[in-house]
Amino acid sequence: SRDKAPSLTASGVNVAFGGFKALTDVTMTITPGAVHGLIGPNGAGKTTLVNTLTGFQTPTTGQVGLAGRDVGALAPHELRRAGVARTFQAGRLFTGLDVLDNLAVTGVGLGHSRSASEAEAMKLLGWMGIAHLAEQPAAGLPYTDERRVGIARALMFSPEFLLLDEPAAGMSEAEASDLADLIRLVADELGTGILLIEHNVGLVLSVSHHVYVLDAGQIIEEGDVDVILASQAVRDAYLGA
Ligand code: ADP
């Protein structure tokens, strides 16, 4: 049942850089098969929270939980193996490789054979509708293709949870809308629990089942789209009040 589904959680997470508190008492739950949005003004702590949920940042205090286990001290590669993958703002593809190899090396790194990894990679590219990119060099890809390949590569880990750090940055509204369709498809058909961090608030509200709003390191609001749209606290945060 849904109650028993493993979730990715932050519980009372604090992150301090010296005397500066980047996150204060942050609690959130990411459930499988649902899209969760994370919005907030610049400097709110969004990237710090993603880093904390993916092993790139150790919480100063508080827990990161995965299916009930405290994973706050795990390294990024350990969390990936445990089912938590992410993308980065700049694609970070292996620029010396073509698209297929960008995906296949992930499979090989997980211990699969070269041929099985390539087959899996082709299957995934086909499912995403970008099989035509397989032999393209990663280095010269148009921006939106690069983002899709970044997501495809993260999906090679068969993650239970996928954190997307500003995947629509620089996209037109039409491109962002296509991306929204892809994000929904991943959640619906693969059952992946997604955390979407975006400046494009419209995109987040259009695709998320549940939205968290960070401001100055604290969650100031959470709920479905109607709750967020009706929130005075959210309006104040975005107006800088
Ligand atoms: P957002 O992603 O919402 O724009 P960030 O998580 O990048 O916010 O940053 C939150 C705050 O923490 C900012 O004030 C930023 O300057 C600060 N910060 C982030 N990383 C570090 C770090 N490694 N050392 C010191 N301060 C940091």
Q: What is the pLDDT of residue 4?
A: 53
What pLDDT does 89 receive?
Answer: 78
Domain stops at, among 140, 167, 202: 140
Mark whether 127 and 27 lie in a shared domain. Answer: no
Query: According to the model, what pLDDT value does residue 135 have?
Result: 96
b/e burial code for range 182-207 (CB count within 10 A of at least 16 → b) = bbbebbeebebbbbbbbebbebbbbb
Calpha distance 40→27 (Å, rounded) = 15
Portion of the chain with pLDDT greater than 90, in percent: 84
Q: Please give the number of the atom of ligand 1 that sits closest to the Cα of 44.
A: 3
On whether residue 146 sits in a domain, the answer given is no
Q: Is the pLDDT of residue 10 over 90?
A: yes
Residue 151 in domain: no
Cβ atoms within 10 Å, residue 96 = 10
Mutate-to-test residue for ligand 1 from 13, 20, 21, 48, highest number of ligand atoms within 8 A of CB: 48
* 172 & 88 share domain: yes
pLDDT band at 241 (very low <50, low <70, confident <90, very high): low
Q: Within a domain: residue 154?
A: no
**In the chain, % of residues over pLDDT 70:** 97
Does residue 175 sit within a domain? Answer: yes
Cα 216 to ligand 1 centre (Å): 10
User: Quick check: CB of 51 below 6 Å from ligand 1?
Assistant: no
Total structural domains within the chain? 2
What pLDDT is recorded for position 91?
Answer: 67
Which pLDDT score, from 0 to 100, does residue 85 have?
96
How many other C-beta atoms can be found within 10 angstroms of the C-beta atom of residue 169?
Answer: 14
Question: How many Å apart are CA 194 and CA 33, to the nearest integer?
Answer: 7
Residues 75 and 12 in one domain: yes
63 and 127 inside one domain: no
81 and 195 share one domain: yes
Whole-number pLDDT of residue 203: 94
> Is the domain of 16 the same as that of 66?
yes
- Strands 35-39 and 193-197 come out as parallel
* Co-location of 57 and 14 in the same domain: yes
Q: Say what the ipTM of the complex is.
A: 0.96
Question: Ligand 1 centre and the CA of 22: distance in Å?
Answer: 6
Give the rounded distance of the alpha carbon of 82 from its chain centre.
Answer: 15
Residues 49 and 165 occupy one common structural domain: yes
Residues 77 and 17 in one domain: yes
Q: Ligand 1: does its nearest atom lie under 6 Å from the Cβ of 86?
A: no
In a domain, 148, yes or no: no
**Average pLDDT, stretch 3-13?**
85
- Give me the pLDDT at residue 1, please: 38
Whether residue 172 sits in one domain with residue 81: yes
Look at residue 64 and tell me if it is in a domain.
Answer: yes
What pLDDT was estimated at residue 154? 95
Residue 102, domain member (yes or no): yes
Secondary structure letter of residue 201 according to DSSP: H
Whichever domain contains 64, its CATH number is 3.40.50.300
pLDDT of 130-163, one tens digit each? 999 999 999 989 988 999 999 999 999 999 999 9
Answer yes or no: is the C-beta of 87 below 6 A from any ligand 1 atom.
no
pTM (two decimals):
0.93
Q: Which of 101-105, 106-110, 211-215 has the lowest mean pLDDT?
A: 106-110
The DSSP annotation for 90-127 comes to S----TTSBHHHHHHHHHHHTT--HHHHHHHHHHHHHH
Per the structure, the complete domain to which residue 37 belongs is given by: 2-92+159-239
Query: Does ligand 1 lie within 6 Å of residue 80's CB atom?
Result: no
Instruction: Please state the atom number of ligand 1 nearest to the C-alpha of residue 50.
Output: 6
pLDDT in tens, 15-48: 999 999 999 999 999 999 999 999 999 999 999 9
pLDDT at 5: 65
pLDDT at 3: 47
- At 2, the pLDDT band (50, 70, 90 cuts) reads very low
Same domain? For 167 and 230 the reply is yes
Q: Are residues 218 and 103 part of one domain?
A: no
Mean pLDDT, rounded, of the chain = 93
Average pLDDT over residues 236-240: 79
Q: Check residues 90 and 54 and name the one with the higher pLDDT.
A: 54
Predicted confidence (pLDDT) per residue in 160-215, tens digit: 999 999 999 889 999 999 999 999 999 999 999 999 999 899 999 999 999 999 99
On whether residue 147 sits in a domain, the answer given is no
